[in-house]
Amino acid sequence: MHEALRNYWYPVARVSEITDRPVATTLLGEAIALYRARDRVVALHDLCIHRGTPLSLGWVDGDELTCAYHGWRYDATGACVRIPSLPPGRVIPPKARVTSYRVEERFDLVWVCLGTPAAPIPAFPEYEDPGYRALWTRHRLRASAARVIENVMDFAHFPWVHPGILGDRSKPIYESTPARSEGNEIHYTVDDVQTNAIRTYRVSLPFALHMHVRRRSGGDTERFNVLFFVGSPIADRETTFYFGHARNFALDQPDENFERQDNEVIAQDKRMVEAQRPEELPLDLSAELHLRGTDAAAVEYRRALVRLGLGT
């Protein structure tokens, strides 16, 4: 996968899933072993340097991860600190180490950056706001992360893919929506008279989107839902999709009611996104036809990905 993508943060697990038993995952084609060492999560390249056995098959000794094949033990920095078969007096070779990755815990998710962070973890302040109730759903899509995020950015498909939920097929026309780039972000707002909602979008490159959804109430507007989407690329054409949903209403109602509708919307999108061709998002703007107005955000997103270096 493209080298530039390694310099951003991606969620790879829920915090509750990481204990003192190693967990295997994949990010940008790279195998990762996750485990908890006391009060922090450790992420190591999931292959023992000795004979290429996944470290995730092993176990945790204190703060260290032991390979199940020959018992080589690694600390949180990736350095091998014990080789049981090494005779007394012999020094552990300096090359006996594996890569250790940056890890952060945020919004009840474990985030990993494989390289040097070019931007912070995307903001989702409502998740930690006591005035909101939040939940996560997680989905696996056979599609590129860019295709997945551009689908979330695209509001013109709402009447056709999500009729009765997000749109009305008898009202398919939306107002022209300019999009602007600010540093690592793209901003735009959709005044959706069809569903009486105002949606404010903030896209954090490369694969995250924060959306405020407000409903008109009389002559005013008030916050209704906050949606947070992150695409975590497993490989070029496979994505783990994290969908955060925070609400400041119906706080006494069970989350299952909202999770059920979220899952229905994602299932409808999944059918479309997995069928798109080419599988990779075309960054050459001449490769697909774009409409002025409703496609402005998608065009700006593709241009922004080129600026990141993904078009090379």
CB atoms within 10 A of CB 131: 10
pLDDT per residue as tens digits for the range 188-204: 999 887 777 889 999 99
Q: Which amino acid is at 159?
A: P
One domain for residues 141 and 289: yes
Q: Which long-range contacts (CB under 8 A, 24 or more apart) does 130-134 make?
A: 131/248, 132/226, 132/246, 132/247, 132/248, 133/246, 133/247, 133/248, 133/251, 133/255, 134/107, 134/244, 134/245, 134/246, 134/247
Q: What percent of the chain has pLDDT over 90?
A: 74
Mean of the pLDDT values across residues 229-246? Answer: 96
Whether residue 206 has a cis bond before it, omega within 30° of 0: yes
> Does the pLDDT at position 27 exceed 90?
yes
pLDDT tens digits, one per residue of 110-129: 999 999 999 999 999 999 99
Domain count of the fold of the chain: 2
Q: Please state the rounded mean pLDDT for residues 282-304.
A: 92
- The percent of residues in the chain predicted with pLDDT above 70, rounded, is 97
Does 94 share its domain with 198?
Answer: no
- CATH code, domain with 44: 2.102.10.10
Final residue of a structural domain among 91, 113, 135: 113
Residue that finishes a domain, picked among 113, 141, 158: 113
Domain span at 223: 125-308
- Give the mean pLDDT of 99-115: 98
What mean pLDDT is predicted for residues 17-46?
Answer: 96
pLDDT tens, position by position, 205-223: 999 999 999 876 654 446 5
Tell me: do 217 and 302 sit in the same domain.
yes
Measure the CA–CA gap between 57 and 185, rounded to whole angstroms.
Answer: 39
Q: In this structure, are 163 and 262 located in the same domain?
A: yes
Tell me the average pLDDT of the chain. 92
Cα(22)–Cα(31) distance, integer angstroms: 13
255-262: average pLDDT = 90
Give the position of tokens 């059918």. 271
Same domain, 100 and 219: no
Give a yes or no: residue 118 inside a domain: no
Pairing relationship of beta strands 109-113 and 220-235 according to DSSP bridges: unpaired
Residues 15 and 108 in one domain: yes
Position 221 scores a pLDDT of 47
Q: Does residue 106 sit in the same domain as residue 9?
A: yes
